[in-house]
Amino acid sequence: MITNFLFHPGIILILFGLFIPKIKNRAIIPIIPILSFIVLLSYQDGMQTIINYHSYELIFMSIDKLSRLFSFIFILILFAISIFSINQDNRKEIASAYIYVGASISVVLSGDLITLFIFWEVMAIASTIIIWYGSPKSYAAGIRYLSIHLLGGTILLIGIIGYVNTSGSIVFSFINPDSIYAYFILAGFLINAGAPPFSSWIPDAYPSASWSGTVILSAFTTKTAVFVLIKGFAGYEILIYVGIFMIFYGIIYAILENDMRRILSYSIVNQVGFMIVAVGVGTEIAINGASSHAFTHIIYKALLLMSAGSVFYITGKTKCTDLGGLYKTMPITMICGIIGALSISAFPFTSGFISKSLTVQSTIYEDMRLLWFLLTMASAGVFLHAGIKFPWFVFFQKDAKLKAKDPPTSMKIAMILLSFLCIFIGVFPGLLYSILPYSVNYVPYTIDHISSQLQLLLFSGLAFFILLKYLKRTLTITLDFDWFWRKFSQLIINEFNLHLIKNISISFNKCTKLINKSIETLHKHNGPSGILGRSWPTGNMALWTTILLGSFLLFYLFW
């Protein structure tokens, strides 16, 4: 059993993460994901590792097509991030990243709710540490992030305890919606997915991390949440409405935002919204759409954030108002950023085109015309904020006269690798389709589909440049829904402090009065004029001593 425990793709990464600060040669670090990947390939679908704990059988590892797909992309992106982060001097951040990713893979491979919850909390702690290593200003954002995830974990734990008590099973599979506890579990998962009203934790926390930390954070928490939603809640209609809200919420705030990393963070909310809509639809093609979209999104979002991280690493700036004209001095970063932007916009022959179309097609098969229209409209919005706005304001708008150059070789290698994957998957979609949970009969490259998508992108681009003067960024702060949580929390804290100080003052006054009264009583009886303080005749003393001694003897005899 110990052997099976150690030969677990997630545990390998967690254990290795503990030793990363001691490793002197940084080039060794990217090798470990390869070992984890080899171990993953050695397991066949249907294999399980079971640990007996009291009366429960903990399914520590359960392999199927869905868990293999997510584990594979997690390991792949960790390999790319390890190369990208070779120049990161903070080894503790990289160590936390390996523990974080190892816990994410362990959640994906968990076959029971108890094991899932344990690694779910490890993810929250490790990712918080990554945020804290961003800068001295990251501490407050990390505390807010941790508070939200501890809240989500508490709600999830309540749901798990109630569900296990009522159902008698800890196995994690589709959860029957008849149980009220199913919705506690659902709420706990949705908080990690960035669902309303807690969506703002993503743009609040992720940009607070370092240039490499933001890339690490972008790939795992929300996509792990998508995985558990697919496995436990496919077909829940409420997820369609949650996903639609996330899609348009992310688009609107990304268009308004000035900070490039916050733009891409809002875009994460938007893209996860597409996946959650597909989970809500719940058909086989929709589940394939959510799975493939998560797979490709991890790649092109990491690429976009690597591009933004490279700009931040070289220039030290993240606001669009401070950037511009970098296509001259950072050409490789610019090209890779554009490839990522085209992929997220579902441009033909990129990975986004062949994955997002599965979700849209699933709504057509189910005759959900309004939903199809909303998803199509949202696709145009994605092109506006991520496909055009990000590269335009960072690389092409008026020259900010910044002294810059392309980042170090390791960072360029990582970006080029992910750029290649974005195009390779888009040109050869069958490779991705072959590892999806269900067989795929859909053909993405038809004349109608390509022409309609190109028209959509063309008119979206035209609208951007027509409205460019209204879209130019200014030095403003975007107020998000977390403003209510921060203000509300502050009011509670202030009110608590006010009552606390008042109660402490009242208690202190009562204690002071009690002490003074006690002193006065003692002085009255024991002072110079008190009955116990004055001199007593020897005869009286002898009399009382005799009385006490006699009383003691009588008590002893009759007891």
- Give the pLDDT band of residue 258 (cuts 50, 70, 90): confident
Where do we find the tokens 């009220």? 180
CA angle 476, 141, 135 (to 5 degrees): 90
The pLDDT of residue 180 is above 70: yes
- Give the pLDDT band of residue 389 (cuts 50, 70, 90): confident
* Residue 268 maps to a domain: yes
The pLDDT of residue 52 is above 90: no
In three-state secondary structure terms, 510 is helix
* Residue 166 maps to a domain: no
Number of structural domains, the chain? 1
Calculate what percentage of the chain has a pLDDT beyond 70.
89
Predicted confidence at residue 291, as pLDDT, reads 96
Could you tell me the residue range of the domain that residue 438 belongs to? 234-473
The pLDDT of residue 545 is above 70: yes
Query: pLDDT tens digits for 478-503?
Result: 777 777 766 776 676 666 666 667 77
Predicted confidence at residue 32, as pLDDT, reads 92
Distances (CA, A) of 44 to 47, 61, 74, 192, 436: 6, 12, 18, 29, 15
Arithmetic mean of pLDDT, 149-165: 94
442-456 burial code (b ≥16 CB/10 A, e <16): bebeeeebeeebeeb
Predicted confidence at residue 1, as pLDDT, reads 46
53 vs 85, more confident: 85
* Residue 292 maps to a domain: yes
Predicted confidence at residue 400, as pLDDT, reads 78
Predicted confidence at residue 109, as pLDDT, reads 95
Alpha-carbon torsion (491, 497, 501, 503), positive or negative: positive
Predicted confidence at residue 160, as pLDDT, reads 95
CA pair distance 298, 70, nearest whole angstrom: 10
* Residue 391 maps to a domain: yes
- Give the pLDDT band of residue 3 (cuts 50, 70, 90): very low
CA pair distance 53, 490, nearest whole angstrom: 43
* Residue 522 maps to a domain: no
Query: pLDDT tens digits for 300-313?
Result: 999 999 999 999 99
Q: Read off φ and ψ for residue 531, nearest 5 degrees.
A: -70, -30
Q: What is the DSSP letter of 175?
A: P
* Residue 203 maps to a domain: no
CA pair distance 246, 222, nearest whole angstrom: 12
Arithmetic mean of pLDDT, 195-199: 88
Arithmetic mean of pLDDT, 84-99: 91
Query: pLDDT tens digits for 271-318?
Result: 999 999 999 999 999 999 999 999 999 999 999 999 999 999 999 998
Amino acid type, 160 = I
538 vs 490, more confident: 490
* Residue 262 maps to a domain: yes
Element (H, E) at 126: helix 113-132
* Residue 51 maps to a domain: no
pTM (2 decimals)? Answer: 0.85
The mean pLDDT value of the chain amounts to 87
In three-state secondary structure terms, 427 is helix
